[in-house]
Every structure is written in structure tokens, then in C-alpha cells.
Amino acid sequence: MQERELKRLVDSTADAAFAIDAHGTIVAWNAAAEAFFGRTAQETLGRACGTILEGADECGPVCSARCGIRHAVKERKPIHAFDLEVATPQGRTWCTVSVLRVEGAPGKEPCSLHVVRPVHVRKKLELLVRDFLIAETALSAEQARTVLASTRSASGQVELTRREHEVLALLASGTKTATIAEQLHISRTTVNNHVQRILKKLGVHSRLEAVRRAEHAGLLRSQRP
């Protein structure tokens, strides 16, 4: 699909919308996106979408060269709508992002169309409820996060293998590398290799960050032992 056809698609919705190619570069940007993000099409076309959105979830930045959404589009997997906090002229603003895969010429990787709808008030209320549960009830911080774990997290699109899920669940329970290796009947080196792949997929730098992001994204709820 050529860029002029992608532009016609993004212009067909009154919501803020933009299209990116297989490399994460913005190739179409509608008037509603100009108003919402405070950036003109001239300012955004040809740039990496992450540098414009500066997207983050409850755990911090998610826009990076290892974007899980772009990987899911490339693999032609369905993508659920997700919540993202983005940079706007009014400050950091929560929105819901819906992603549609757009097929191109045969043999070419697909592009993706992103439709953005503000949900700032709803999201702030959700986070306030979570904080209230932690502060005012007998629920632990972990339990409160589990109760309200967002299925609308961008990190929820991350694809982990069965073994990576097992390693992540053990990390979440505080299990050390040697014990994980013993329980899964693999070497410590293999455990560390799995951990590094998990960190890369989740876009984090430590095991603690990986567990925290996975909990918020709902990746652990059906995997915890």
C-alpha cells in the first residue's frame, strides 16, 4: 500500500490517527493527530513514532527500538487496544491506542494504522483506585496490582515463550538463578540467557523491572506458580 493510500485511511477518521511502516517510521499523520499531539505532519513524517509519542505505561517508558507492537504487526498477530501515556502540549496524557495491520504488496512487511483516543480521566481514576486499595485495605501492593492488572497495557502485547513464562514466574516468586536452573533442569547460563531475552522483550534493564512490568501487563496472572 502506498503512502497516499495510508494518508487517505488516516484522514478517514475524526480521531487522532497515524500510520507507521515496518521500521517504525511515521508515513501518515492526520489533522486530528496534529491537534492532539501539537505536531504538524511536516514535523513528524519520516521520524520514529516513539520519538514523537514518548509513550509510557504504569511502569515507565515503553517506546523503543524493541517495540512489541511493531513486532506483533510484523508477525501478523492480532493486537488488543492498549493504554499509553503520551507527550502532548497539555502535558503527559493517557490515551487508548487501537492498532490495525495494513497489508502492502506481496512479500512486503505490513504497515500499521494507529488510532488514538484520550482516556486521561478514566485512567487517572483507575490508578487512584489502585493506590487506594494499597493504602486503605488489607491487600498487599502486589495483590492490588493483580486485581487491577491492566489488559490494556502496551507491554501486554509482548510474546514470551513457554520457558520464558516459567522463568519469569520463578523470578516473580523471588527464586534465585541456581534454584531456577535446578527446578527447570537447565544450566545457569541458559537461565541467564532466558532472563536477558525477557528483559529485551519487555524493554527493561533489571529483573525487578521485568517482574513489575509483567505484573502490570497481566503477563503473570495465569503463569504464577
Confidence of residue 185 (pLDDT cuts 50, 70, 90): very high
Examine the pLDDT at 1 and tell me if it is beyond 60. Answer: no
pLDDT digits (tens, 9 = 90+) for 36-90: 999 999 999 999 999 999 998 877 888 877 787 888 888 888 888 888 999 999 9
What rounded mean pLDDT belongs to the chain? 85
Banded pLDDT at 29 (limits 50, 70, 90): very high
Chain centroid offset of residue 86 CA: 12
pLDDT of amino acid 134: 67
The SS3 call for residue 196 is helix
Instruction: Cell numbers for 89, please give them.
Output: 502540549
pLDDT tens sequence across 103-124: 877 778 899 999 999 988 777 7
User: By percentage, how much of the chain surpasses pLDDT 70?
Assistant: 90
Average pLDDT over every residue of 23-36: 95
Q: If DSSP codes are grouped into helix, strand and coil, which group holds residue 98?
A: strand
Q: Which domains does the chain have, with CATH numbers?
A: 3-119 (3.30.450.20), 123-217 (3.40.50.2300)
What local confidence, expressed as pLDDT, does residue 223 receive? 45
Cα dihedral sign, 205-209-211-216? negative
Q: Has residue 224 got a pLDDT over 50?
A: no
Q: Over the stretch 129-182, which tens digit does the pLDDT of each residue have? A: 767 776 777 766 666 666 555 556 677 777 889 999 999 999 988 899 999 999
CA distance 202 to 96: 20
Contact 181, 190 (CB under 8 A): yes
Residue 26 pLDDT: 96
The answer to whether the beta carbons of residues 220 and 168 sit under 8 Å apart is: yes
